[in-house]
Amino acid sequence: MCGSHYNVSITEAFESETKIRLQNTLMLEDMPLSLKPKERELDSEILIAKYAIKLTQSDLKASQTDVALAYVAGYCAHAAIKRQPCDDCQSQLMITDRELQQSEQVLIDSMSRRLEVSTVFRCYVFLVTKTVLEHLVSKEQEQRFHAEANQRMVLLSIMQFLLSDGEELDMCASGHHPDTVLKNILKPAVNTLLKNYVACRNDSVMKEKACTKQTKLLTLQ
C-alpha cells in the first residue's frame, strides 16, 4: 500500500483499535427486549381510602342522562372485543338481537349508523368510571391526583377493585376470565375519559391565557 490508500488504512486501523478498547473498558449490561416500562399494580384499597371514594345512587343518577354515555360505551365495548376477539365475550358486551318488531328494528338500524349497542352492564361500567374520575379531579382531590406518577393506573386499579365482585360477566367457553374481560373494558374507558379531561383542561388554560392577553392589550390602549 502507498500514498493516500495507506493513510486511510492506518486511520481505519487506529479507529478500530480505539473502538475495541472502549468496548472492553465500558462493559454495558444486556438491554431488555422491551424498553417499555411495566405498569406496576397499585394497592386499590389504599387508593380508595386515600381519596375517600364512596359511590352512592345519587352520584350515578346525576350522569345517567348524558347522551354521549351510550355512544362512548359502545366504542369501549368494540375496543374490548377488538383487543380480545371472542364470540362468547362479545355476546356479554354487545346486543346483537334487540328483540324488537321488524319495522322498528329497521328504523333503529337506519338511524344508528351501525354503531355497536352495548349491554346495560357496559354502560354501567363507563358510568361508574366517569363518576369516580369526577371525584378524583374535584377541587378537594385534584392536586393530589395530579401529583400521582401514573394517573391512568390509579383510576384503572380503583375501577378493577370496585367492579371485580360483580356477577354480570361469566367465564366464557374459550376460557377467558371475567377479570381479564373487565380489564379490556376498562382500559378504553379510562383512556377516553382521561383524554377528554386533559383536552378540557388545556382548553380552559388557553382561554385564560387569551383573556389575560386581551386584558393587557386593552390596558395598554
What's the confidence (pLDDT) of residue 70? 77
User: Which run of H or of E encompasses 212?
Assistant: helix 178-220
What pLDDT is stored for residue 129 in this prediction?
Answer: 94
Measured CA to CA, the distance from residue 202 to residue 134 in angstroms comes to: 17
Find the Cα–Cα–Cα–Cα dihedral 9, 10, 15, 18, rounded to 10°: 140
Segments making up each domain of the chain, as ranges: 44-205
Which grid cell is 110?
A: 337506519
Residue in the structure block whose three cell numbers are 376470565? 177
Alpha helices in 27-177 (DSSP H): 44-51, 57-61, 68-83, 87-93, 102-112, 120-136, 142-146, 151-163
Q: Which residue, among 25, 37, 127, 28, has the nearest Cα to 76 in the 3D structure?
A: 127
Q: Residue 24's pLDDT is what? A: 61
Q: Which residues contact 72 (CB under 8 A, 6 or more apart)?
A: 126, 189, 192
Give the pLDDT of the chain (221 residues) as one tens digit per residue: 455 555 556 667 667 766 666 556 655 555 555 545 555 668 899 999 999 998 888 877 766 656 678 788 888 888 888 888 887 777 777 765 554 445 444 544 444 445 555 567 778 888 999 999 999 999 999 999 999 999 999 999 999 999 887 666 777 777 778 888 888 899 999 999 999 999 999 998 898 888 888 887 777 76
CA 79-82-86 angle, to 5 degrees, is 120
pLDDT for 39: 58
By the 10 Å C-beta count (0-12 exposed, 13-18 middle, 19+ buried), 200 is classed as exposed
CA distance 128 to 86: 25
What is the distance between the alpha carbons of residues 173 and 165, in angstroms, rounded to a whole number? Answer: 20
Strand residues in 28-164 grouped as ranges (E): none
- Spatial distance between the Cα atoms of 71 and 114, rounded to a whole number of angstroms: 11
Cell 338500524, located at residue: 109
Where b means 16+ CB within 10 Å and e means fewer, 70-79 reads bebbbbbbbb
